[in-house]
Amino acid sequence: MVAAVAGFAMPVSAETLSFYGTPGLMDMPSAYVLGDGELAMTLAGFGPNLRGTLAFQITPRLTGAFRYSWIDNFNRDGGDRYDRSFDLAYQITRETETVPAISIGLRDFGGTGIYSSEYIVASKAITPTVTVTGGMGWGRLAGRNAVSSPFAFIDDRFETRPFAGEGGIDTTGQVDFGLWFRGDVSPFGGLTWQVSDKLTLMAEYAPDLYQREVERGAAAPLTPLNFGAQYQFDNGVTLGAYSLYGNDLGLSVNYVLNPARARVPGGIGVAPLALRPRDTVVGDSNPTRRLSSGLAGEGMTLENFVVAGSTAEIRVLSTTFPATAQAIGRAARVMANTLPSEITRFEITLLNYGMPVSTVAINRADLKELEFAPDGSWQSLARAQISDATSTDRAGELPDVYPAGNLDFGTYLTPSLFDPDSPLRLEAGVKLTGYFSPAPGMILAGEVRQPVYSTIDTAIRTSNSEIQRVRSDAVRYYQESELELAYLTAEHFARPAPDIFSRVTVGYLERMYGGVSAEVLWYPVDSRLALGAEVNYARQRDFDGGFGFQDYDVLTGHGSAYFDMGNGYFAQVDAGRYLAGDWGATFRLDREFNNGVRVGAFFTLTDIPFEDFGEGSFDKGIIIEMPVTWFTGKPTQDRIGSVVRPVLRDGGARLEVRNRLYGVTRDLRGAEISDSWGLFWR
């Protein structure tokens, strides 16, 4: 009978998140996963513990999480501990009618080791609303009723677990493979009952004895039994209340979002122009003016317009639509509604920083034929021609395009997240930003900032770096500066050869360094692989944010490989010399959704030993970027985002140069244009 019931049972929603912010019960994990690509944010606390977690479903089976925890009175001196940790879990089997979901996971595998543990867990829905979970855990999870390692028969080393340490600078951040699945093991388990689509009840057996917390004065668990309830509101927020370990009450709040699903479905931008019948389009004596006006209405700047026989070419800078194909579709409509009927072919060259990147050629007849075709998107892509744009001549340039410039006054907010002493610091102020472009590809740009409010400059931790302090003195730039020159540069972008791009930047490159940066990028228009090289001479700036420099200078540079793996995955490897003179490589993996939301992670390994690097052991972090249009529905190329580093040190530090070539060109090359072609008619 149970098997028959299991045949139609479905697992409880994976949005049942544990106090560790990953799919689970309360303090124990389950074998379920989030929806592919989902982000889960959790804040949970009980007793002396407060945990904030960001979890991401990296692939349909692989879950990753970053956690920042506050443990009251945990340090030996009586102070609070701010702890950072990473988790990974992989779902080995998916749940079927007869087979449970099975996952294997690592907790705190690259942090201080406070929560260091591993587990194997299985979950199975036994009715449409009840799910049972059971597993065994090592490390911290091997507490109550622990038994000897089941892997001892493989090797005697599995019988004992080395001490993970107290999170000192010699161990924090290292991935200690020698701990995994070693030592005693304890069973754990529980069940969830989804009473309704909003209310879930749960109970669990949790073997964690919280020994370290008890040693620091926390109350010892009285029982391994925990009970709780979670309620999901219509806006997606889930609140939970719990009775934990017989002597604590707990609360949690979590929110799960799907980056692939826009907050404003469909968008709220202006609809595209309808195509006029070709025989009603009559040219006039000044088509350039009409084209320029029409394109400006679509958020594009016309820089060049040339007619050769029956072909018309325009060069445009698109500043509104985040999807390049949508901008191309809008530009083609403007051309069709403006140019006389004898023009039969449109060539649209896409520019960035005055540099031609790619050209898309469209037959005028195809526009009209496919405008309302059910399969018009893929047919129009099949008929379009995407090619490299190599010509940098200024033929047909509009007389009022150059010189160009702009001055903008605004505000800024700079957060500092998850440092070892505080979860959040920030600086807010006003800024004056400007640029001047005397000719295509030549830009003078700068920004001046005046802080109004700051808590970053209240940080009392000073650098104890054993190597050159190229980044670890960053707080001093907040403490010792008032009116600050954020950057002041002269840039030159060029196309020295087909599929080749170049950039030279001179000046105050970033907040901490000035110098010279030169870069070249090989990026075939129809390729998903790009290769680049960059060399920089950098000199460290004075802490006051003015025009002066310190004594330290360095020659640094990298060779880079960028690869679009398909299905929204992007890989990047940068190998070379870093700011502290260390040699090594940075590995980065991003997942980007069709709407532009991007989540990624990176780590850097160099020839600096872990003990010399200091706390964190090596540079690593998480990247989250979201287009503003994801929130508002209005077309814009503005993005918000942050790089979350557990700790900022000196090893593996790279110069922060604005407008690196891959970022400047990628959205305008063939693969990205093709990937966004579904918006061509929008």
CATH code for position 376: 3.30.300
Neighbour tally for 69: CB within 10 Å: 24
**Cα-based torsion angle of the residue sequence 522, 523, 525, 529 in order, rounded to the nearest 10 degrees:** 130
Kind plus residue range of the DSSP H or E element containing 104? strand 101-107
CA 246 to CA 221: how far, in whole Å? 7
Query: Would residue 463 count as lying in a domain?
Result: no
Query: Would residue 301 count as lying in a domain?
Result: yes
Is residue 46 within 8 A of residue 263, CB to CB? The reply is no
pLDDT at residue 648, as a whole number:
84
Asked whether residue 240 falls in the same domain as residue 352, the answer is no
Pairing of β 385-388 and β 529-541: unpaired
Could you tell me which residues come within 8 angstroms of residue 605 by beta carbon, excluding any fewer than 6 positions away? 584, 585, 618, 652
Asked whether residue 298 falls in the same domain as residue 388, the answer is yes
Asked whether residue 240 falls in the same domain as residue 354, the answer is no
CA 69 to CA 46: how far, in whole Å? 12
Structure tokens at 327: 């901008």
Is residue 248 within 8 A of residue 241, CB to CB? The reply is no
Query: Would residue 117 count as lying in a domain?
Result: yes
Which one-letter DSSP state was computed for residue 470? S
Asked whether residue 220 falls in the same domain as residue 109, the answer is yes
Query: Would residue 570 count as lying in a domain?
Result: no
Could you tell me which residues come within 8 angstroms of residue 562 by beta carbon, excluding any fewer than 6 positions away? 529, 530, 531, 532, 570, 571, 572, 662, 666
Q: Which of 561, 504, 560 has the alpha carbon at shortest distance from 537?
A: 504
In 3-state terms the chain splits into helix, strand, coil percentages (rounded to 5) of 15, 45, 40
Structure tokens at 400: 């009022």
Question: How far separated are the first and last CA of the chain, in Å rounded?
Answer: 53
- Strand intervals (E) in 528-594: 529-541, 549-566, 569-577, 583-592
Q: Which of 400, 428, 456 is the last residue of a domain?
A: 400
CA 59 to CA 637: how far, in whole Å? 27
Asked whether residue 304 falls in the same domain as residue 196, the answer is no
| Strand, coil or helix: 130 | strand
Query: Would residue 132 count as lying in a domain?
Result: yes
Query: Would residue 406 count as lying in a domain?
Result: no
Domain holding 282, by residue range, is 278-400
φ and ψ at residue 284, rounded to 5 degrees: -125, -175
Pairing of β 598-606 and β 345-352: unpaired
Q: Which of 371, 400, 429 is the last residue of a domain?
A: 400
Asked whether residue 301 falls in the same domain as residue 200, the answer is no
Asked whether residue 219 falls in the same domain as residue 340, the answer is no
Kind plus residue range of the DSSP H or E element containing 66? strand 62-71
Mean pLDDT per 10-residue interval, the chain, length 682 residues: 36 70 95 93 92 93 92 79 90 94 91 86 94 95 90 80 54 68 94 94 96 87 96 92 94 89 62 81 79 93 95 95 93 94 95 96 94 90 94 90 95 80 83 97 97 85 85 91 95 96 98 97 96 98 95 97 93 97 96 86 93 82 86 80 84 95 95 90 89
Asked whether residue 183 falls in the same domain as residue 80, the answer is yes
CA 505 to CA 576: how far, in whole Å? 19
pLDDT at residue 9, as a whole number:
41
Find tokens 């110098």 and name the residue: 515
Q: Which of 400, 427, 451 is the last residue of a domain?
A: 400
Asked whether residue 289 falls in the same domain as residue 246, the answer is no
Asked whether residue 96 falls in the same domain as residue 205, the answer is yes
CA 594 to CA 621: how far, in whole Å? 23
Query: Would residue 288 count as lying in a domain?
Result: yes
Number of domains in the chain: 2
CA 558 to CA 555: how far, in whole Å? 11
Asked whether residue 191 falls in the same domain as residue 286, the answer is no
Name beta bridge partners: 239. 231, 253
Is residue 24 within 8 A of residue 34, CB to CB? The reply is no
| Strand, coil or helix: 135 | strand
Query: Would residue 575 count as lying in a domain?
Result: no
- Residue 58 belongs to a domain with what CATH number? 2.40.160.40
Asked whether residue 343 falls in the same domain as residue 393, the answer is yes
Instruction: Give this prediction's pTM.
Output: 0.87
